[in-house]
Amino acid sequence: MSPDTASATGRITILDGGTGRELLRAGAPFRQPEWSALALLEAPEFVTRVHQAYVEAGAEVITTNSYALVPFHLGPERFASDGARLAALAGRLAREVADAAPGHVRVAGSLPPICGSYRADWFDPKFARPILEVLIEGLAPKVDLWAAETLSAIAEARLVREVLGPDRRPLWLSFTLADERAIAGLPRLRSGEPAGEAVTAAIGLGAAAVLFNCSQPEVMSDAVERAREVLAAARRFGSGGIEIGVYANAFAPQDTTAEANTGLSDIRADLTPAGYLGWARQWVKRGATIVGGCCGIGPEHIAALSAEFAPGVARR
């Protein structure tokens, strides 16, 4: 479905929310450095419960619990011994829940920023490539689409496309924005690259959707607006027929030295389900056709999105 078609029909795709904090809230084993990967290692039934909670809340796409399956969290030795097995397990758990759902639910294979969340300056393609290869091989049998998430730099997106090679399942490229810069109305990635350039790159890489995630809600609308402008210009030349999506986090602004998943950040009290829905209405009004949540956004938030934007519900 193209953005124009989605806008005309009011069809909005509902994503799930964050996994790590929901595992913690559910009582799953949870500590650093393993983060959300610990549940896969010690109690995978909790991962199933979290997926089920999001499906029950109305999510039409659930994301594999593979974000922390990197040496940063597992350690190099454990990743070498268990990475492929854990990726396959993450894919299987999500697939089982999706297949058991009463409606059509897709599974997105999460491909994280291999060298460190929020840190474009740490990106090393030679280091990242073999790790991506392990994750893709493990997840591939069970996923419907690929979600390269929390990308701080365009180079990370390019590497994902290279490593996927001939795999032509839909590719969603999701970029994280610099909170402090975008507030001024100039949306940029955490690398400093303009968000518009990231959208142009996504078009060139054949992405099915370009999204913005793991940044505060306030910065997303400008990025969606810029994406819509770039895509509109591209469509005049026969390209740019891709969707726009948003799934924000519930953190306070993160500065340029921040690293995701190095500790539990405070959750904003104002981002209740109703408060988050207010932001989502703005994103949809600007042109987003995919909405969900990232860190700190749970099933109750997704239920509010689903009640507002589910098929048959008019857009406001």
Average pLDDT of the residues in 52-72: 98
Q: pLDDT tens-digit profile of 129-153? A: 999 999 999 999 999 999 999 999 9
Type of residue found at 246: V
Are 266 and 252 a contacting pair, CB within 8 Å? yes
Query: Tens digit of pLDDT for each residue in 207-241?
Result: 999 999 999 999 999 999 999 999 999 998 888 89
Q: What is the pLDDT of residue 236?
A: 87
Given a contact cutoff of 8 angstroms between Cβ atoms, the answer to whether 295 and 21 are in contact is: yes
pTM for the full predicted model: 0.92
Spacing of C-alpha 28 from chain mean position:
22
Tell me what the mean pLDDT of segment 113-134 comes to: 97
Q: What is the mean pLDDT of the chain?
A: 92
* Average pLDDT rounded to a whole number, residues 55-60: 98
pLDDT over 70 (residue 251)? yes
Asked if pLDDT for residue 245 goes beyond 80, the answer is yes
User: What pLDDT does residue 80 have?
Assistant: 98
pLDDT for 240 equals: 82
Question: Could you tell me how far CA 101 lies from the centroid of its own chain?
Answer: 21
Q: Which tokens sit at 271?
A: 């981002």
> So what's the pLDDT on residue 44?
98
In the chain the domains, ranked by start, together with CATH numbers, are 3-309 (3.20.20.330)
* pLDDT surpasses 70 at 120: yes
Q: What is the pLDDT of residue 118?
A: 96
Confidence label for 314 from pLDDT (cuts 50, 70 and 90): very low
- Residue type at position 234: A
Per the document, the length of the chain is: 316
Tell me the average pLDDT across 29-47: 96
Average pLDDT over residues 242-251: 96
For 248, list phi and psi in degrees, rounded to 5.
Answer: -85, 165
- What is the pLDDT, as a whole number, of residue 6? 43
- Provide the pLDDT for residue 2: 38
Model confidence pLDDT, tens digit, residues 159-204: 999 999 999 999 999 999 998 755 556 899 999 999 999 999 999 9
Q: Give Rg (Cα) of the chain.
A: 18
Mean pLDDT along residues 287-315 = 88
Predicted local distance difference test score (pLDDT) of residue 315:
38
Q: What SS3 class is residue 268?
A: coil
Instruction: List own/partner pairs for 154-157 with CB under 8 A and 24 or more apart.
Output: 154/189, 154/191, 154/193, 154/197, 154/198, 154/201, 155/120, 155/123, 155/125, 156/113, 156/114, 156/120, 156/123, 156/128, 157/198, 157/201, 157/202, 157/205, 157/207
pLDDT of amino acid 257:
54
